């Protein structure tokens, strides 16, 4: 695959937009299902999607040889052609068992939010409250709204719910816990059991 020296940025939190080297890409999707398939592949919860999961998501059936061929002919090939036409390269990696987005030259805000929030919670569990507060603050600033608002699909809806839950956990619980320990007690405050 020929990967250009360009950076593809995909915003998925609060809105959906694609830009290449900072310039918006006007995408006129050939089919709503192709758009939903591409958006499903952007989920930070799953870095790899099996053919079976995609067939179940699109048609509600397991990936038999017939459905796998149908998936490839009706959606995967047209999606790859569309991406090459719109972006100038194919960011998909397909294999015998499934498909994934090649994130080497792609920045997806939801992926950054997810990894930052999880790292913040990890640091909190290790009692690194200052580091946790830093990561949690960054995660909070990255979360611009619901994941892919207005776009439907089983994988997208599951991701939307999981990211929203992670945001609530990080912002509500994580920030409170990190601040409670990271902020020292002010001068003059007398805590129970400690002499002034």
Q: Which residues of 8-23 are buried (b: 16+ CB within 10 A; e: fewer)?
A: bbbbbbeebebebeee
The DSSP bridge pattern shows strands 106-108 and 8-11 to be parallel
The CATH fold assigned to 8-107 is Arc Repressor Mutant, subunit A (1.10.10)
pLDDT in tens, 78-122: 999 999 999 889 999 999 889 999 888 799 999 999 999 999 999
The answer to whether 11 touches 24, Cβ cutoff 8 Å, is no
Look at 75 and 194; give whichever has higher pLDDT: 75
> pTM of this prediction?
0.83
Domain boundaries, the chain: 8-107, 108-182
What is the distance, to the nearest Å, from the Cα of residue 57 to the centroid of all Cα atoms in its chain? 18
């Amino acid at each position: 695959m020929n990967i250009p020296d360009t950076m593809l940025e995909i915003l998925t939190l609060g809105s959906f937009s694609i830009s290449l080297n900072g310039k918006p890409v006007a995408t006129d999707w050939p089919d709503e299902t192709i758009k939903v398939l591409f958006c499903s592949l952007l989920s930070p919860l799953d870095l790899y999607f099996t053919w079976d999961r995609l067939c179940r998501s699109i048609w509600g059936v397991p990936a038999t040889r017939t459905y796998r061929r149908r998936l490839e002919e009706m959606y995967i090939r047209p999606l790859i052609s569309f991406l090459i036409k719109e972006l100038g390269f194919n960011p998909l990696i397909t294999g015998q068992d499934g498909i994934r987005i090649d994130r080497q030259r792609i920045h997806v805000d939801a992926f950054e939010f997810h990894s930052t929030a999880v790292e913040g919670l990890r640091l909190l569990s290790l009692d690194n409250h200052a580091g946790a507060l830093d990561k949690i603050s960054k995660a909070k600033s990255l979360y611009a709204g619901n994941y892919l608002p207005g776009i439907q699909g089983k994988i997208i809806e599951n991701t939307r719910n999981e990211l929203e839950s992670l945001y609530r956990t990080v912002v509500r619980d994580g920030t409170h816990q990190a601040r409670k320990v990271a902020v020292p007690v002010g001068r003059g405050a007398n805590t129970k059991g400690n002499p002034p």
